[in-house]
Amino acid sequence: MKSLGCVVVGDGSVIVVEIDECKKVGILKKMIKEAKMYKLPADQLLLYVAKKGDSWLKTDDPDVTMLETGEIPTGIINIMKKKENKMDSCYRVRSTAFGFPNEDAGEDGEIHVLVKLPEAANKKQRLEWRSTRWGSHVYDPNSQYFVLEKEDVDESGLLPSRMMLYCRPTFHRQFEFLRDQVSSEGHLGWILGPPGTGKSTTAMAFASTVDRSEWIVTWIHVAKDMDLNCVRLAGEERKTRTIEIADVDEVLLVDDTKKHLLLVDGWTAADFFRELTVKCHRWLTRDLVKRRLAFVCSVASRGKVQEGTDIRMRAMEFDVWSWTLAEYLDAVKERDFVMCVASMLDAPGGVYGPRSPAEMVELKYHYAGGSCRYMFDYTTTDIKNRLCRAVESTSSAATLSSKGHCSQLCINRLFAMFKRPNWEGHVSPLISQYAATTVGMVCGPEAIKKKFISTLRDHSNPALNGWMLEMVFFSSLRHGGLELVDSAGNKLDPWSQSVIVVSDGIPELSCARPVWIKPGIWNQGGYDAIMVCKHAV
């Protein structure tokens, strides 16, 4: 006898099927069909062995929990792509090709089978609303914190957990923009800014405070190569469903006696969002009295703008700036907030035991810079890995250094955006000192001196203060070496191209050529680098 945990790809529901190991997979399909009461032929079900490498999936695996949102994560797709994981209806359940454990041998929480429905059944399932009773919040313009419960963000495309948001000045200004310019005056809203600045969570907070006796709110979250997450707030009811772009027109056909606010989250200028943008514009123009529309963009710029369209639609932009160190320090003054984010304030550097929240923030600012997502939602190791991958995936770092986030090659998460303090416009430096140093190692010293120094020397981002010398120094050592000069400009000894090793200790070195040891801890006391040069005796 086998006791098989089965999860349905499409809704994440889990069932356990008890089946004689001598039975064939075709019988297992019939048992799953009956247990789920599917009105379709059993042979249309596709079954896959649910293994990641040599291990069974677990019910608490992030890929499994994501299935509950209607999304199919990459990890699940990769399992189903493997030919050896597809279960042939004519094979017996006991087949060694499947490797299912005996009933008393499996561990708790194991998932053994992925169940995939035919596309028609999946679509029908997506079109069904899931409804809960959930009231609205009250907005206080003087409040320093705003709490979104897990129930406020479930199936919205946002992080599915309780969030305590710090209400920095930009938070309140975004609220005012959505309330006054979009909802009251009827402007088409464009909320712009780099990833990780709080645009989406602030927009969801606003949606949760709208007067539902007067308004219906529809939230649509978009992401590349994924179905759309849709949330509907009406009266005391909160409804969710997963849709395709083809379903948008149907979703927006609701009670016309109320005003209707549509928030599209995660928008970019990419081609695969063009059809959605057209549908939303068309919906808005059919009733400019009662309908309102705002795009919450995951980028800092809309790209090429059609000015005539902007005039007709009465479009207005709102910029959400990256976070400053002062804002982080204000946020962690509240103990409850610190308790929510303490596990992520893990940057190395302290040598005197327990640290204050302010010190932990200052240490992590070296890596996270202007991204509150990096500061509060990612570990330091995760940030370093993501930034390194972003730099390595960029085909022309020199172009990035000269054009910033306006370059078509731009990786959005590499750049911050700050308002110039004393004049119009903004500056878009790299997100943090760690990111800047990493890009510098790829660009080479000439690109840094000609591009970064000439175009990004604005002092609007305190995270980057003092990073230029270090960037040029290590970049020069890696790309051909550097020369020492005295105060009069006379050339002294040259330092040749060298290997750079990142280590907080003195590692064992086998290389006979000069090696520079760069501390992994950015604020290492006593030295910024050590050169080790072995000479033959």
Q: Is position 422 within any domain?
A: yes
Residue 404: predicted pLDDT: 47
Residue 455: predicted pLDDT: 39
Q: Is position 146 within any domain?
A: yes
Q: CA-CA distance, 13 to 213, in Å (whole number)?
A: 34
> Which one of 256, 289, 319 terminates a domain?
319
- 3-state class (DSSP) for residue 113: strand
Q: Is residue 226 domain-shared with residue 137, that is, in the same domain?
A: yes
Q: Is residue 154 domain-shared with residue 272, that is, in the same domain?
A: yes
Angstrom CA distances, 74 to 63, 71, 123, 125, stand at: 8, 10, 19, 21
Q: Is residue 409 domain-shared with residue 516, that is, in the same domain?
A: no
What Rg value do the Cα atoms of the chain yield, rounded?
27
> Which one of 475, 507, 522 terminates a domain?
475
Q: Is residue 52 domain-shared with residue 198, that is, in the same domain?
A: no
Contact between 258 and 216 under an 8 Å Cβ cutoff? The reply is yes
Could you give the angle at which helices 433-443 and 380-392 cross, rounded to 10 degrees?
30
Q: CA-CA distance, 296 to 317, in Å (whole number)?
A: 10
Angstrom CA distances, 81 to 13, 47, 90, 232, stand at: 21, 12, 20, 34
- Mean pLDDT highest for which of 2-6, 188-192, 355-359, 364-368? 188-192
Angstrom CA distances, 287 to 256, 283, 290, stand at: 9, 7, 6
Q: CA-CA distance, 393 to 362, in Å (whole number)?
A: 29
Q: Is position 276 within any domain?
A: yes
Flag whether pLDDT at 307 surpasses 50: yes
Residue with tokens 């063009």: 274
Q: Mean pLDDT, to the nearest integer, of 27-51?
A: 90
**Over 403-444, what HEC string results?**
HHHHCCCCCHHHECCEECCCCCCEECCECCHHHHHHHHHHHC
Q: Is position 537 within any domain?
A: no
Q: Is position 225 within any domain?
A: yes
Domain total in the chain: 4
Two tokens, residue 117: 């429905």
Residue 263: predicted pLDDT: 98
> Of all residues in the chain, what percent are helix, strand and coil, respectively (each to 5)?
35, 20, 40
Q: Is residue 244 domain-shared with residue 275, that is, in the same domain?
A: yes
Q: Is position 497 within any domain?
A: yes
Residue with tokens 């202007």: 370
Selected residue with higher pLDDT from 368 and 399: 368
- Which residues, other chains included, contact 507 with Cβ-Cβ below 8 Å and sequence gap of 6+? 501, 517
Selected residue with higher pLDDT from 324 and 500: 324
Q: Mean pLDDT, to the nearest integer, of 82-87?
A: 92
Residue 408: predicted pLDDT: 44
471-493 pLDDT, tens digit each: 778 878 887 778 888 888 888 88
pLDDT bracket for residue 194 (50, 70, 90): very high
Two tokens, residue 447: 């690109």
Could you give the angle at which helices 380-392 and 357-368 cross, rounded to 10 degrees?
10
**Residue 147: exposure state from Cβ atoms within 10 A (0-12, 13-18, ≥19):** middle
Q: Is residue 208 domain-shared with residue 313, that is, in the same domain?
A: yes
pLDDT bracket for residue 10 (50, 70, 90): confident
Two tokens, residue 317: 């932009």
Flag whether pLDDT at 322 surpasses 50: yes
**Residue 49 sits in which domain range?**
2-125
CA geometry: angle 56, 35, 48, nearest 5 deg: 30
Q: Where do the H-state alpha helices sit in 232-324?
A: 248-251, 274-285, 307-313
Contact between 134 and 34 under an 8 Å Cβ cutoff? The reply is no
Percent of the chain with pLDDT over 70: 88
Q: CA-CA distance, 103 to 200, in Å (whole number)?
A: 46
54-81 pLDDT, tens digit each: 899 999 998 898 887 777 888 899 999 9
Percent of the chain with pLDDT over 90: 50
Q: Is position 284 within any domain?
A: yes
- Mean pLDDT highest for which of 408-412, 495-499, 506-510? 495-499
Mean pLDDT for all residues in the chain: 85
Two tokens, residue 461: 């981002």
Q: For the whole prediction, is pTM greater than 0.75?
A: no
Q: Is residue 267 domain-shared with residue 206, that is, in the same domain?
A: yes
99-108 pLDDT, tens digit each: 999 888 878 8
Flag whether pLDDT at 93 surpasses 90: yes
pLDDT bracket for residue 204 (50, 70, 90): very high
> Which one of 434, 455, 475 terminates a domain?
475
Residue 328: predicted pLDDT: 97
Residue 442: predicted pLDDT: 73
Q: Is residue 413 domain-shared with residue 442, that is, in the same domain?
A: yes
Q: CA-CA distance, 206 to 171, in Å (whole number)?
A: 10
Angstrom CA distances, 525 to 351, 372, 520, stand at: 10, 27, 12
